[in-house]
Amino acid sequence: MIGGLFIYNHKGEVLISRVYRDDIGRNAVDAFRVNVIHARQQVRSPVTNIARTSFFHVKRSNIWLAAVTKQNVNAAMVFEFLYKMCDVMAAYFGKISEENIKNNFVLIYELLDEILDFGYPQNSETGALKTFITQQGIKGQHQTKEEQSQITSQVTGQIGWRREGIKYRRNELFLDVLESVNLLMSPQGQVLSAHVSGRVVMKSYLSGMPECKFGMNDKIVIDKQGKGGASDDAGKSELGGSGKQSIAIDDCTFHQCVRLSKFDSERSISFIPPDGEYELMRYRTTKDIILPFRVIPLVREVGRTKLEVKVVIKSNFKPSLLAQKIEVRIPTPLNTSGVQVICMKGKAKYKASENAIVWKIKRMAGMKESQISAEIELLPTNDKKKWARPPISMNFEVPFAPSGLKVRYLKVFESKLNYSDHDVIKWVRYIGRSGIYETRC
C-alpha cells in the first residue's frame, strides 16, 4: 500500500510529508526531488522507480504531489487517490497553491490521517468529511451521542456520500450536460478520429433521502421500449425536442451513488444523490456526432522565406443557435519574422511567444462561414529539418450536445417527506465545448 505522501513546491521544497510505513526511509523525500523534480530531462513517466522505491506523481499548477511505496500496489488506485486528494483539498480551501497549502497545514495533515489509514484509502467523500473534519480541528467534543453515531454510520455506511436530515424550503435540481467534442481531421477533410466525451453534472438541493431515476435517449433503452409499445413517445419530446431520436452510447461510468448492478441488468440509472454539486455520469460516443465546426486549411510555401496560410471555418448547426468563444489557433514556424493577417470577422493576432496566429470570434450563428488569410515571413535558416506543421486547433462553446444526447426525465421520489416529483424544480442545460479539436494542415 501507499507508504508515504509528499507535497513539494515548484522548487522541490517539501511542503507536506506524511510517512505511513516504516519501509520508507527519510531519504525518499530527497530521492524524488533529485531524480524527478530537479531532473534536467522532461518527465518520461509518471511512475519512477528509484532504488527499489516507486514514486507516483501528479502535478497541479506548480505543486507536485508524490505517493511513494515499496510494494506492488495497485497503481491505478494510487493515481485515483492522488486526484481525489486534490479534489478534497480544493473542496476545503480552493485552489491548490503553495500559499494555500502552507495556510492549511494542520488541516491537510488531519485529512491525510483520515482518508489514508496505514496507506489504505478510506472514505474520501468531501460531503462526509466535512461533517467531522473542520478547519477548527476535529469536531467531537460538543456533539450529542446521536450526532456522533450519525457521523460514523455515514462515514462507514452504504450511503457514505449523503447525510440524513437535509432540509430545503425549495426543492430544486440543476442538470448540466457538458460535452467536449474531440476531432482529428486530415487536411483533406477526412475525419481520422472523432469522439464526444460527456459529463452529466448535477446540483441537487433536495430534502431528505430522495430516490432519483435518470433517463436519457440511450439507444438500448429506447429500442427496448419501442418493442414494448409506443406510448412513451410523448415523454420523449417533453424535454428533448428536435434532433435524433436516440444515440448509441459506447460506454459510460457513474458516480458511486449509482446502483451499478441495476444499470447492468435493466440499464436504468437510479441513485440517492449527494447534496450539492457532483458528477453523476461520464459517457463517450463515437457514432453520428455533430461536428459544430469544419476547418479548411490551405498552406502554401512560397519560396524558402514565405508561407501563405488561408483558413476557412464553417459552422454546422441550426442557424438559430449561436456559438461562443470561438478561437482558432494557427501554428507558425519557429523562424517566423513577421505576419500579416486579414480576417473577415473577429480579431486575429500573431503571438510570437506562442508561435501561433490566434483568431478570436465572439459569436457565430449556425450555417455560416468565415475566413482568415495570413502571410508569414520567415527568416532563412540552415536547419535541415522541415517544420513539423502542428495541427490547427480550435476552441468554441455551443448551446447543444454534439452527441445528440437528451435528458428524458429525472424523477425524484421521497417517501418519508411530503414532496413529490412535481414539486421539484428542475433545470436542464446543454453545453458543447471543444475538446481536442484539431485539423492537420
Partner 1 sequence: LQCLCFCLCLYSGEIFELKAELNSDKKEKKKEAVKKVIASMTVGKDVSQPDMAIMAVNTFVKDCEDPNPLIRALAVRTMGCIRVDKITEYLCEPLRKCLKDEDPYVRKTAAVCVAKLHDINAQLVEDQGFLDTLKDLISDSNPMVVANAVAALSEIAESHPNSNLLDLNPQTINKLLTALNECTEWGQIFILDCLANYTPRDDRESQSICERVTPRLSHANSAVVLSAVKVLMKFMEMLPKDLDYYGTLLKKLAPPLVTLLSAEPELQYVALRNINLIVQKRPEILKHEMKVFFVKYNDPIYVKLEKLDIMIRLASQANIAQVLAELKEYATEVDVDFVRKAVRAIGRCAIKVEQSAERCVSTLLDLIQTKVNYVVQEAIVVIKDIFRKYPNKYESVIATLCENLDSLDEPEARAAMIWIVGEYAERIDNADELLESFLEGFHDESTQVQLQLLTAIVKLFLKKPTETQELVQQVLSLATQDSDNPDLRDRGYIYWRLLSTDPVAAKEVVLAEKPLISEETDLIEPTLLEELICHIGTLASVYHKPPSAFVEGSRGVQHKRLPARAGSGESTESPDVGQSVSGVSDAPPAVIPSQGDLLGDLLNLDLAPPTTTVPPVPSSMQMGAMDLLGGGLDSLVGFHTCPAPVGMPAGLGAAPAVGGGLGDLFDLGGGVGMTSGSYSPPRVVWLQAMKAKGLEISGTFARRGGVIQMDVSLTNKAMSVMSDFAVQFNKNSFGMAPAGPLQVLTPLGPNQTVEVSLPLSSTGPVMKMEPLNNLQVAVKNNIDVFYFSCQYPISLLFVEDGKMDRQVFLATWKDIPSDNEAQFQIKDCHLNAASNKLQGSNIFTVAKRTVEAQDMLYQSIKLTNGIWVLAELRIQTGNPNYTLSVKCRAPEVSQYVSQCYELILKN
Q: Which of residues 144-173 bind partner 1 (CB under 8 A)?
A: 145, 148-149, 151-153, 155-158, 160
Applying the rule CB under 8 A, the residues between 251 and 310 that interact with partner 1 are: 251-256, 259-261, 263-264, 279, 281-282, 284
Q: Pick from 58, 91, 209, 291: which binds partner 1 (CB under 8 A)?
A: 58
Residue 138 binds partner 1 (CB under 8 A): yes
- CA–CA–CA angle 35, 37, 39 (5° rounding): 55
* Contact letters for partner 1, residues 95-134 (x by CB under 8 A): -----------x--xx--x---xx-xxxxxx------x--
CA 423 to CA 132: how far, in whole Å? 32
148: left (phi over 0), alpha (psi -120 to 50) or beta: alpha
Residue 12 binds partner 1 (CB under 8 A): no
Cβ proximity to partner 1: between 42 and 320 the closer is: 42
Query: Cβ 320 to partner 1, closest distance in Å?
Result: 31
Only one of the segments 88-96, 289-297, 306-314, 378-386 lies at the binding site for partner 1 (rule: CB under 8 A); that segment is 378-386
Report DSSP letters for 104-141, one per residue. THHHHHHHHHHHEETTEE----HHHHHHHEETTEE--T
Query: Cβ 276 to partner 1, closest distance in Å?
Result: 17
Which among 142, 160, 141 is positioned nearest to 150, based on CA atoms?
A: 160
CA 430 to CA 321: how far, in whole Å? 12
Q: 125 pairs with which residues across the strands?
A: none
Cβ proximity to partner 1: between 137 and 338 the closer is: 137
Only one of the segments 51-59, 232-240, 302-310, 409-417 lies at the binding site for partner 1 (rule: CB under 8 A); that segment is 51-59
Report the 10 Å Cβ neighbour count for 278: 18
Cβ proximity to partner 1: between 381 and 420 the closer is: 381
Distance, C-alpha 212 to centroid of its chain: 24
Applying the rule CB under 8 A, the residues between 74 and 93 that interact with partner 1 are: 74-77, 79-83
Residue 73 binds partner 1 (CB under 8 A): yes
- CA–CA–CA angle 113, 118, 124 (5° rounding): 50
Q: How many residues bind partner 1 (CB under 8 A)?
A: 96
Helix 75-93 × helix 105-115 angle, to 10°:
140
